[in-house]
Amino acid sequence: MERRFPATGLARWASGWRSSRRVWGELGILALGQLVTVAGGIAATRILTGFLVPAAYGDLALAVTLAGLLTTAGAGPVGNAVVRFFAVARENAVLRSFFHAVRRLYGEYHLSACCVALAALLVYRTFVRDAEWLALGLAAVFLAMLQGACGLLDAAQNAARQRIVVAWHQAAGQWVRLLGAVLFIRWFGATANHALWGFVFASAIVLGSQFLFFKVRLAPLAAGELAPEETEVRLVARQMRAYANPFVAWAAIAWLQQASDRWLLAAFSSRVQVGLYQTLNQVGYSPLVQFSGLLSQVAAPILFAQAGDGSHYEPVSRARHHVHQLSALLLAGTFTLAGVLWVLGPAIFALLVAPEYHSVARYLPLAALAGGFFATGQMLTTDALLRLRSNALIAPKTGSALLAAILNYLGARTFGLPGVVWASLISTAIYMLWTWQIARTGSGDEALSRGVGETTAPDATTRRHVNHPD
């Protein structure tokens, strides 16, 4: 007898197969882009360490952390809101208001942070009169302005699942920045300042390309919508701001977790040690963090679209289950990479950096563990974001960052570079365990089944009330 399957079951299976095929296709595109990006990072490390002595490479690393602080505190929170609310705005036909709100928040958050940094540089110039670091600081601020805009366009394109555009700009951006640094070093001299201005020049080129793709690929998605009203833009911006504000609360403190190690090494040891540590960070710490970023780029828009506005328990529960699976995958990869580097680390390090930097190769496994623990913790934070519980992350973000700064201080002052490596390992392990605890305790969240959240996404009903207030 021929076995018959229910039509609805076949349709569900076919839909799931097509969806899975699309996800794997997107993962392949982004993985290819990420491989090219990683190759660019490896080439940058090898080439720039060949051009710059360890002290100059340390100065470059410190300046880049300043740009990272501005981007983390300014554009970072807005980017998180872009990824979370894009799918909901598109579903409810308020994309034009959404784009206006993003521009407004970029000015409020990111440009304001950059203006504060410029004012601080003027004060620094008045009292310290250090022309070299003034030039580095100015370049870092301009780099942050450009990278912040690039990050928001990247977030919107990723949320729209335009994976080729995202992969192209990430891959091309890495290589263009390297080319810009090399050209500026060749033209003006082998200093950290010239390399950083090369990054600025290259980032401007990447931003121009991203804006062109925005006009061609993203803007047409809202072509059929009515012109947005100011009240509606304010409403969308207010909802995104409520979601983004907790990220601002921990941004500057979280930056300590990522940058205090280098600054404290510079204070208690030397800029040479900073340069050595930076190569260790790039070869050992960064790979799993970059891989985590790849997974997030693919998974976050899909999971947020699946969870919707967080008002229904079942879709949110399924999305959270996927987050836990990805976190377990990252943790397994962490121990695998650390084992490989324990055996082959010195040989790999010899291929990737200039000979002057080889003395720190023995710390590669510890750096890999720290990077993997941090990447796993970052993935676990998605669990709270799916439940619209971003406030729940303030404690682990700020607590682990403050702990990292304290441990980095003690490690740098007492043991120098080895102390900072161990401090990073301990603080990231605690961060991972803390976020795991939040994800585990959130499994009994009853608010989801009642549609209760800290913020609500714009919906069609809200839009009607905005356009026609009572």
Q: Is 396's pLDDT higher than 90?
A: no
Residue ranges per structural domain of the chain: 31-449
Q: Residue 429 — very low, low, confident or very high, per pLDDT cuts 50/70/90?
A: very high
Q: Is the dihedral of CA 340, 344, 346, 351 positive or negative?
A: negative
For 265-298, the pLDDT digits (tens) are 988 988 889 999 989 888 889 888 878 877 776 6
pLDDT computed for residue 202 by the predictor:
93
Q: Where are the beta strands (DSSP E) in 81-185?
A: none
The amino acid occupying position 5 is F
Q: Is 10's pLDDT higher than 50?
A: no
Q: Is 41's pLDDT higher than 60?
A: yes
Which residue is listed with tokens 């994309």?
95
pTM of the entire predicted model: 0.73
What are the b/e assignments for 7-42, b being 16+ CB within 10 Å?
eeeeeeeeeeeeeeeeeeebbebbbebbebbbebbb
Q: How far is CA 172 from CA 180, 240, 377, 450, in A?
A: 12, 30, 28, 45
What mean pLDDT value characterizes the chain?
80
Closest CA to 380 of 328, 435, 460, 454: 435
pLDDT computed for residue 461 by the predictor:
33
Q: Is 220's pLDDT higher than 80?
A: yes
Closest CA to 294 of 32, 60, 16, 94: 32
Mean pLDDT of the 10-31 span: 53
Q: Residue 374 — very low, low, confident or very high, per pLDDT cuts 50/70/90?
A: very high
Determine what percent of the chain is predicted with pLDDT higher than 70.
82
pLDDT computed for residue 188 by the predictor:
93
pLDDT computed for residue 433 by the predictor:
94
Q: Residue 349 — very low, low, confident or very high, per pLDDT cuts 50/70/90?
A: confident
Q: Residue 350 — very low, low, confident or very high, per pLDDT cuts 50/70/90?
A: confident
Q: How far is CA 246 from CA 59, 242, 392, in A?
A: 31, 8, 9
Q: Report the range of poorest mean pLDDT among 159-168, 192-201, 213-222, 409-418.
A: 159-168
Q: How far apart are CA 128 and CA 126, in angstroms?
A: 6
Q: Is 25's pLDDT higher than 70?
A: no
Which residue is listed with tokens 């390309």?
209
For 78-120, the pLDDT digits (tens) are 988 898 888 888 888 888 888 989 999 998 888 888 988 888 8
Q: How far apart are CA 435 and CA 173, in angstroms?
A: 31
Which residue is listed with tokens 């289950």?
321
Q: Is the dihedral of CA 419, 424, 429, 431 positive or negative?
A: positive
- Answer yes or no: are the C-beta atoms of 358 and 349 closer than 8 Å: yes
Which tokens in the block code for residue 186? 């060749």
- Answer yes or no: are the C-beta atoms of 327 and 379 closer than 8 Å: yes
Q: Is 65's pLDDT higher than 60?
A: yes
- Answer yes or no: are the C-beta atoms of 420 and 285 closer than 8 Å: no
Q: Is 190's pLDDT higher than 70?
A: yes
Which tokens in the block code for residue 123? 């004060």
Helix (H) or strand (E) holding 72: helix 54-73
Q: How many CB atoms lie within 10 A of CB 129?
A: 8
pLDDT computed for residue 86 by the predictor:
86
Q: How far is CA 254 from CA 144, 349, 447, in A?
A: 17, 29, 28
Q: Is 182's pLDDT higher than 50?
A: yes
Q: Report the range of poorest mean pLDDT among 173-182, 309-318, 376-385.
A: 309-318
Look at residue 416 and give its three-state secondary structure.
Answer: coil
Q: Is 456's pLDDT higher than 70?
A: no
